[in-house]
Structure 1
Amino acid sequence: MWYWIFKYLLIGPLLWLFGRPDVTGTENLPRTGPVILASNHLTVADSFFLVLVVRRRITFVAKNEYFTGSGVKGRLTRWFYSASGQVPIDRAGADAARGALAAARGILDRGGVWGIYPEGTRSPDGRLYKGKTGVMRVALDSGAPVVPVVMRGTDTVNPPGSRRWRFGKVHITIAEPLNLSRYHDLRDSRPIVRAATDELMSVLHGHSDQEYVDRYAADVKRSATR
């Protein structure tokens, strides 16, 4: 219930005011059954705008720190991320990736919509970075369709690193589901999973105006802090 109140009554009106979002390709999203929405990632607001324009409930896997704060601020933060369709996962330790993928598989097994950013983190400079293979491992194992999504303009409305929002125009493109049938019989092969992931990133690149970088965004961020 809180998800829909959050979407239509609380954050939704503000998103329409600041971002004036338009969306193309809504017919490419299956109306029922499990589906993976795989999007580029410019800013925190990406998740909120995607929730706003997609009629089905979307669930994201978010870092556990959003749900463990104390006091009034901690409770409000926990409610905010829960209401916006995010579930916690402990990303620390060797089993972090496995736990995240297991949580995602649970969402799909229940016939839900899993929202995921294949780059693994927000772009540090607005470019599109190499995709991590987890999304395709889940997709090929579960058989859930993968629908690429491209966000544009969210970084103008919600500039990375800033808590201030600005007026802008958000464009969201929902592309056709990927045809992964040729990968299915070899889904346990790492090169095949890598090839499927690269195909996804190629589609995202083709629908966006971002420059593609064949490096992981997380590696670029770590290099910048040294």
Structure 2
Amino acid sequence: MSLAERAPRGTYAITAAVGLLVLIAATVSFVLQLVTAMLTWPLLLCSSGRLRFHTIQSRIWRTTLPILCVGLNPFWRQKTHFVGSAAGPPDIIPGSVIFVNHRSNSDPFVVSWLLLLSCIEAKFIYKSSLSKLPVLGWNCVLAGDLAVHHGDKQSIVKMLDKAREVLRQGYHVLVFPEGTRSPSGLLQDFKPTFFQICEELGCPAVPVCVLGTERAWPHGGFRMGCATVHMAMGEPVMPGQGGADALSDQVARQMQEMAREVLMDREADENAAEDPFVSGKPYAYWRPPKEIEDLLPEDQMKLLKAGKGHERGAHLA
């Protein structure tokens, strides 16, 4: 049985070790953020200074976290790739929206490492429930990350207005456009909101592809494992004819092309053909939930790409 056919499994030992690194990173960063906040709080007195305040906080958080949790993590081997001659956000105003596929809870950690290596600072879009976590949530709030309150339309509108202001000031925003993790590995349909914002403001869309994180922190549990993680950043895509839908399609296509180039051409990975971004099929080890297992394969694929046919197969209506 090849590696691609074996379901990823975490261990308690690795989970404890990585969890300790996360705790140390969050605590060290929080102390540094508090000390810095005491020195820079006057920036909060004016609207233009608030973004500078949070940017300083973000640089502390997004330096400490990836160095301790990814760079010094012996269990997650990371490989960084830049695809194209001008990969990454261009140095222009408005800022760029960085779009990342979502396979695992470890994605924010490894993406932070990629941004650190690229000398890029970005505000992350994250679930509001994370802000309630002790220390970790406080780190994100101080860093000025933008929380999504699912089901609260008024809060979502305010968050989107903040995102527009961040972009207008020349800062970057990072979003997982699928909206949720993909347990099958297939690239799910993107939510249109931030592509519409790109079109509205003329923001570049920067595609980032993350591969292998499904083994670093397997979906459906809290145990972590060993993994080789590939992170690829591509060239920015500018809004053009066709509107937000065309931009979304181009970013999705570029993510998959980057995955093929990284796995098959640059790395010559023997398991590359089994990756969903290459094969167009779910992980070899993945099994559909009982709610959709009797459907035709093409119908299953439609549901999976729509984000409705994973372990939440009951949400088919």
5 Å-filtered alignment, 1:35-74, equals 35-54=96-115, 55-67=119-131, 69=132, 74=133
Compare 98-107 and 35-44 and name the one that shifted more: 98-107
Cα distance in 1 for residues equivalent to 2:310 and 2:158: 23
Is the 2:122–2:173 Cα contact (8 Å) retained in structure 1?
yes
Question: Would you identify which runs of 4 or more consecutive aligned residues in structure 1 move more than 6 Å?
Answer: none
Candidates 293, 296, 308, aligned match of 1:219: 308
Helix, strand or coil for the counterpart of 1:20? strand
Structure 2 residue runs of 5 or longer lacking an equivalent are 1-55, 260-274, 282-300
Cα distance in 2 for residues equivalent to 1:224 and 1:124: 12
Candidates 75, 79, 82, aligned match of 1:25: 82
- Deviation for aligned residue 1:222: 7.7
Amino acid at match of 1:196: L
User: Larger C-alpha radius of gyration, 1 or 2?
Assistant: 2
Compare 192-201 and 127-136 and name the one that shifted more: 192-201
Name the CA shift for 1:218/1:99 in 2 (closer, same or farther; >3 Å): farther
Amino acid at match of 2:129: E
Please tell me the root mean square deviation across aligned C-alpha atoms, in Å.
2.6
| TM-score after normalising by structure 1 | 0.80
Number of aligned residue pairs: 213
Structure number with the higher strand fraction is 1
5 Å-filtered alignment, 1:98-109, equals 98-109=157-168
Amino acid at match of 1:197: S
Helix, strand or coil for the counterpart of 1:162? coil
Show CA shifts across 1:11-47 (max 9, x none).
4233122322221117411363411111111112212
Cα distance in 1 for residues equivalent to 2:252 and 2:66: 30
Show CA shifts across 1:142-174 (max 9, x none).
111011110001111111223222222111111
- The answer on 1:129 being equivalent to 2:181 is no
Name the CA shift for 1:115/1:47 in 2 (closer, same or farther; >3 Å): same
Cα distance in 1 for residues equivalent to 2:163 and 2:125: 7
* 1:178 paired residue number: 237
Cα distance in 2 for residues equivalent to 1:220 and 1:96: 28
5 Å-filtered alignment, 1:1-16, equals 1-16=56-71
Show CA shifts across 1:66-116 (max 9, x none).
22x3xxxx4323224346763323222344654443232122122111111
* 1:202 paired residue number: 253
Amino acid at match of 2:308: D
5 Å-filtered alignment, 1:80-119, equals 80-82=139-141, 86-95=145-154, 97-119=156-178
| TM-score after normalising by structure 2 | 0.59
